Amino acid sequence: MPELPEVEITLQAIRPVLEGRRIARMTIRHHGLRWPVPPSLPARLAGQTAHCVRRRGKYLLVEIGGGTLLVHLGMSGSIRLLPREAAPGPHDHIDIMTVDGRVLRYTDPRRFGAFLWIDGDPTRHKLLRVLGPEPWDPDLTAASLRARAAGHKRPVKSFIMDNGVLVGVGNIYASESLFRARIHPKRPVGRISTAAWTRLLRAIREVLEEAIRAGGTTLRDFSSGDGRPGYFARQLAVYGRGGEPCPRCAVRLLEIRIGGRTSVYCGRCQR
DNA sequence: CCGGACGCCTGTCGGC
DNA sequence: TGCCGACAGGCGTCCG
């Protein structure tokens, strides 16, 4: 599920509930996420105040006491705010309850997500240290991308999905950005002009911004904190539309696999 | 050093 | 109808 827009939407939903609030308790029903959820987590959080809730790439970070709770939604994770007390379903693995009695419930059928505790400076944690710039970082430019890509042959789609290059772009938004920038997803990254990098970076930023404005993309199970789906799926130009006509030139959209991921593109518009 | 494949896990869908 | 394989929004690790 979640790429940067979905994580951002989740952040916006949980921030007002958590930030500045004291946590009453945490309930873990299933410890088997991508990495084992530390059994000490509930004791660490209980009675502590969440000072700051923020996003870094596709991670949510909650500063609590002397450390940080790191949350990743994996492929199928979501967090929602329970309107009232409700019995947990089979994939409702973690609840966080504030002293006001509000419950944040983490659901994740595939369990590729993560709940980890970081002591001290979170930026030095091994999962966060390797992350590239945020998409809107002013240091991220067509020139910096071109420099980073120089001499490499990998397909541009894999490159922009690499969180060490820039964070937040997954399979949906990579496909959409490349379509918008009219760049073939397999184009070797070292042979892309500065002009094309300018188009692509602009496209990535626009697509992510539009998706956030639409509440994210809901394909099957993503929902924002209040349980509403995201509506960006309606605006998808190519993702999930292999065989349909290109929205720009009407030729049939093609489907290929790049790095084990399905990629949809227009063979005429994207070069 | 780099890039690609694998594996984690469950649900769903299309084809036979 | 039922079964089976392929695939799904991510990403650390391993291997060539």
Residue A130 phi/psi, 5-degree rounding, is -85, 0
Clarify whether A3 is annotated catalytic. yes
pLDDT band at A226 (very low <50, low <70, confident <90, very high): low
| Mean pLDDT along residues A40-48 | 97
| Mean pLDDT along residues A185-190 | 96
- Looking at residue A121, its pLDDT comes to 94
Q: In this complex, which residue's CA is closest to the C1' atom of nucleotide B12?
A: A220
Counting residues of chain A whose pLDDT is more than 90, the rounded percentage is: 90
pLDDT band at A219 (very low <50, low <70, confident <90, very high): confident
| Mean pLDDT along residues A31-42 | 97
Q: In this complex, which residue's CA is closest to the C1' atom of nucleotide B2?
A: A152
pLDDT band at A32 (very low <50, low <70, confident <90, very high): very high
Q: In this complex, which residue's CA is closest to the C1' atom of nucleotide B10?
A: A110
Nucleotide with smallest C1' distance to residue A74 CA: C10
Cα–Cα dist A263/A270, whole Å: 12
Q: CA–C1' span, A48 to C9, in Å?
A: 33
Residue A143 phi/psi, 5-degree rounding, is -65, -40
Q: CA–C1' span, A180 to C14, in Å?
A: 35
Residues 115-174 of chain A with CB under 7 A from strand C are 127, 130, 161, 163, 170-172
**Residues A41/A117, Cβ–Cβ less than 8 Å:** yes
| Mean pLDDT along residues A18-39 | 97
Active-site choice (A25, A34, A111, A261): A261
pTM: 0.96
Largest CA distance in chain A: 59
Q: Provide, for chain A, the percentages of residues in helix, strand and coil under a 3-state DSSP scheme, each rounded to the nearest 5.
A: 30, 25, 45
Q: CA–C1' span, A258 to B6, in Å?
A: 15
Does position A159 have pLDDT exceeding 90, yes or no? yes
Residues A120-152 have pLDDT tens digits of 999 999 999 999 999 999 999 999 999 999 999
- Looking at residue A125, its pLDDT comes to 95
| Mean pLDDT along residues A27-35 | 97
